[in-house]
Amino acid sequence: MIDYFLLDVFTDRAFAGNPLAVFPEARGLDTGMMQAIANELNLSETVFVGEATGQHRYPIRIFTPTRELPFAGHPVIGTAHLLVERGMAERGCPLVLEAGVGPLVVEFDQALARLTTAEPVSILASTLTQATAAELLGLEAHQVLSEPVLASCGLPYHLIELASYEALERAQPAPGAWADWVSPSGQDQIYLHFACEAIDATQVVRARMFSTPGGVREDPATGSAAAALAGHLAQTKGVGRWRWQIEQGIEMGRPSRIHAEAERTEDDLSIRIAGAAVIVGGGTLHLPGGLAVSREAP
């Protein structure tokens, strides 16, 4: 038997944000079992935490129902909150989560956990153009403001800038156009964004994320996409610190709030993603005998 916890991430209330399952003591589970468990729970991501490799330092593995991910934002934020709640980490000390993309440093600021990305942002050309992005989303050409780009801080997304909230709300990816214009890139994730207002020094952005396989699906809060977007937006700015409040999941009835920050110097660009999380439940899985334990650790 193995215990797990359910959290809602990038929200401060239950039944909003992005659901997550975390197994805080997953030592001994092999890759096949982790993938089978993630498929059984059928959440966007499930996290398996291995044995501590140092003080406030843990290896983690992140799985969707169909594959393992090197990096994802809401699993890291949610896992950090859970480890503090269970006394496996301290709110006043940095926490290091060793993911596939590399070590991720998480710090705590009151109710928020804040991660610093392990990889710098990379910006490449997208297989989408303004015209094909509009076709993909069922919009008019003028509703896509700029040429899409493929941006990544460990997990790539096609970033599509829209002209209005109405365009964002109406956008609905067409599977045929997706197969023609997105899948050839090998990166089946798109992130739609619209900058709607500024509050003090923070730009408020509305966003939606869609991905495949298994049919086009929407995600209520996507920290890795928010990191890619912050990195892309910071590339257009000079030296300084820039902040965004990204509102996602509203169209799904699961409102989420992601705090993104980019700090740019003459030589470097660091990107941080922060959010709250709440524990909403948990349970115990009864694993098949002889299949759960191997020499492979998370």
- Which residues have a catalytic role annotated? 45
Determine contact, residues 8/14, Cβ cutoff 8 Å: yes
Q: Pick the closest to residue 257 from 13, 6, 7 (CA basis).
A: 13
Nearest-angstrom CA–CA distance, 155 and 74: 13
Read off the amino acid at residue 108: F
Q: Pick the closest to residue 230 from 207, 256, 211, 254 (CA basis).
A: 207
Q: 10 Å Cβ neighbour count for 172?
A: 14
Could you give the maximum distance between any two Cα atoms of the chain, in Å? 58
235: burial class by Cβ within 10 Å (0-12, 13-18, 19+)? middle
**37 contact partners, CB below 8 Å, separation of at least 6:** 23, 29, 46, 48, 63, 285
Nearest-angstrom CA–CA distance, 142 and 5: 45
Q: Pick the closest to residue 136 from 184, 165, 177 (CA basis).
A: 177
Q: Where are the alpha helices (DSSP H) in the chain?
A: 31-41, 73-85, 130-137, 165-170, 175-181, 223-235
Q: Pick the closest to residue 158 from 229, 258, 212 (CA basis).
A: 229
Q: Pick the closest to residue 208 from 176, 165, 272, 153 (CA basis).
A: 165
